[in-house]
């Protein structure tokens, strides 16, 4: 599937390391303007610096927020909008369930948080961490 992301704003959460970092670098290499969102702005900035070293990559933005904190995510969305303007958002990994999923083996209920960047509910295992997510507009 071909998706033209040249010049699009892409928000990658969990982007300071692992799969999120790899996604951020790959999307920037394809011409997307990447907002690198992580819980630590200094670590996000390291990825932004890596993006800056890529040939022809557009400028990236380091954004600090915890995806489990709705207020912090709203602030992150506002920061991205101030930097690059408001636009339509599409969440690539939208997970909207009609009913809550079963809890993890051994008990415990899944934690449910709202994704302030696009308004969709998001489910992660109780006490677990969310997988990297990308959004673009």
Taking the complete model, does pTM exceed 0.85, yes or no? no
Domain of 50, in residue numbers: 9-94+130-136
Check whether 95 has a pLDDT greater than 80. Answer: no
Tally of domains within the chain: 1
β-pair type (33-38, 9-13): parallel
Scored b (16 or more CB within 10 A) or e, 69-107 reads eeebbeebbebbeeeeeeeebebeeeeeeeeeeeeeeee
Pick the more confident residue, 61 or 132. 61
70 falls within a domain: yes
Check whether 116 has a pLDDT greater than 90. Answer: no
90 falls within a domain: yes
- H helices of 1-137, in order, are 18-29, 41-52, 70-84
pLDDT in tens, 71-82: 999 999 999 999
Distance of alpha carbon 63 from alpha carbon 136, whole angstroms: 15
Q: What value does the mean pLDDT take over residues 99-122? A: 43
């Amino acid at each position: 599937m071909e998706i033209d992301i040249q010049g699009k704003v892409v928000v990658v959460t969990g982007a300071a390391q692992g799969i999120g970092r790899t996604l951020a670098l790959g999307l920037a290499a394809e011409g997307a303007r990447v907002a690198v969102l992580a819980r630590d702005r200094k670590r996000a900035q390291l990825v932004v610096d890596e993006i800056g070293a890529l040939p022809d990559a557009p400028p990236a933005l380091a954004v600090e927020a915890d995806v489990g904190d709705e207020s912090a995510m709203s602030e992150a969305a506002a920061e991205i909008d101030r930097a690059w303007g408001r636009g339509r958002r599409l969440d690539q990994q939208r997970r909207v369930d009609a009913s809550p999923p079963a809890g993890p083996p051994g008990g415990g209920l899944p934690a449910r948080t709202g994704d302030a960047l696009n308004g969709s509910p998001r489910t992660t295992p109780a006490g677990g961490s969310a997988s990297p997510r990308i959004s673009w507009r």
